[in-house]
Amino acid sequence: MAAPVHGTCHDRFSAVRDAFAANFDAHGQLGGRVAIIHQGETVVDLWGGHTTEARDQEWSADNLVCCMSVTKGVVALAAHLLAERGLLDYDAPVASYWPEFSAAGKAEISVREAMSHRASLAILDSAEPGDVLDWDTMAAKIAAQAPNWRVGTDETYHSVTIGYITGELVRRIDGRPIGQFIREELCQPLGADYILGCGEDDISRVVAHVNNPASELMNGGLINEKTASQFRPFPPAPEFMGSDEFYRLGFPSGGGVAHALALAKLFAPFADDGKYNGVTLYSPATITAASAEQWHHADSMFGNDFRVAVGLLLDNPFNYWGREGNVGTAGAGGYGAFADPANKISYGFTPNRYTSGYGLGEEHKRLVDALYASL
């Protein structure tokens, strides 16, 4: 029996609808949503399948899912908004905004280096289980930490610390916590249903993640003997990641909840000269600066091929955006959002069952390939 699929899809993008349905009917996907905005118009907004493995509840337009490290890119968008306003200089020292950060030989580390996973602060030597539960504790330990190795070498994805580094920069400049800033300065103007730090009503809308043995990242590629040191600040209970406490926390490196349309809206300005929904947030110059490649090679801890811009990710097979020139953000398990400035397209994908295979997974790749076959 075919999985239920709801929503809207322009005829030109019918291949995306076909690929979305096939992910359920032929490839084992459980539930989720995909959205595409083209030249400011929503041309695909489809949700389907089910929210539980028992398949006793259909996916609804109101459902949200934790988007994992997509959150890192959304936090970066907040910092880019401050850069647009002339309040943040990518080449200034982090310590010029956050004086305590200058400790332990970090006085010269630039905002650009810090936002681009080049500050060598992936591991906190003083980390204790549960530190992520308190923002000030994490910020203080990052500020006190000496670089793990020489800055600008052996780059690795800062799985836990990067959201606090960028989020604390936003807080030091603007005064608001990062979740509030994102809500007021990005989500409200863009009409995006994205939440970093859930209230009780929000939590009731969140669909739980479902494991997939065929997901390379979620079955040993993310947390293993080599990378576990990055995750020491987490509470020891493995169920914390999918708990109500986790959703309330607003973990800035992986705790944002959203649906695909919200992600497409957040990246729509990067796709269309800085504008969407009647507002202009970024200039083309800021988009170009934010999208400039900072490093591209195998990650020194995770081993995956990374292609990193300023807090964002560029197209490559691991974080697949479909064409050169696209920029986005990715979450382990298959969550993704990107902007295509050449075609004025933004995209979001939010499944509940982790995707299959390498990087963002085969389910995501089928949708992106269908998108570009439609143009």
Q: What is the DSSP string of 84-119?
A: HTTS--TTSBGGGT-GGGGGGGTTT-BHHHHHTT-S
Q: What is the pTM of this model?
A: 0.98
Q: Region 81-98: what's the mean pLDDT? A: 98
Percent of the chain with pLDDT over 70: 100
Distance CA 352, CA 334 (A): 9
Distance CA 340, CA 270 (A): 8
In the chain, what percentage of residues exceed pLDDT 90? 95
Span 14-37, mean pLDDT? 97
pLDDT at 223 over 90: no
Strand-strand pairing, 206-207 and 275-276: unpaired
CB 176 within 8 A of CB 81: no
Sort strands 64-66 and 206-207 into parallel, antiparallel or unpaired. parallel
pLDDT band at 221 (very low <50, low <70, confident <90, very high): confident
What is the reported pLDDT for 49? 98
Condensed to tens digits (0 to 9), the pLDDT of residues 230-252 reads: 999 999 988 898 999 999 999 99
Q: What is the pLDDT of residues 254-271, one digit of tens each?
A: 999 999 999 999 999 999
- Note the CATH architecture for domain 5-76+181-373: 3-Layer(aba) Sandwich (3.40)
How sure is the predictor about 220, in pLDDT bands with cuts at 50, 70 and 90? confident
pLDDT band at 224 (very low <50, low <70, confident <90, very high): confident
Tell me the average pLDDT across 180-200: 98
Backbone angles phi, psi at 258, to 5 degrees: -170, 175
Residue ranges with strand state E in the chain? 5-9, 31-38, 41-49, 64-66, 206-207, 257-258, 275-276, 279-280, 295-298, 305-308, 313-314, 327-331, 335-340, 345-351
Distances, alpha carbon 167 to alpha carbons 116, 162, 240, 271, 355, in Å: 13, 8, 22, 23, 28
pLDDT-based confidence at residue 114 (cuts at 50, 70, 90): very high
DSSP 291-325: TS--EEEE-TTT--EEEE-SSSEE-SSSS--SSTT
What average pLDDT does the structure give for the chain? 97
Per-residue pLDDT tens over the stretch 296-310: 999 999 999 999 999
- Relative orientation angle of helices 70-84 and 162-174, to the nearest 10 degrees: 30
pLDDT band at 86 (very low <50, low <70, confident <90, very high): very high
Q: What is the reported pLDDT for 225?
A: 87
Q: Quote the tokens at residue 368.
A: 């992106």
Q: Which of 212-221, 307-316, 356-365 has the lowest mean pLDDT?
A: 212-221
Using the structure block, give the residue that is written with the tokens 């993640």. 209
Per-domain boundaries in the chain: 5-76+181-373
pLDDT reported for residue 217 = 85
Query: In the predicted model, what is the mean pLDDT of residues 124-150?
Result: 98
pLDDT of 198 > 90? The answer is yes
**Confidence (pLDDT) at 1:** 79
pLDDT at position 218 is: 87
Average pLDDT of the segment spanning 200-209: 95
pLDDT at residue number 335: 98
Task: Look at strands 31-38 and 41-49 and give their pairing.
Answer: antiparallel
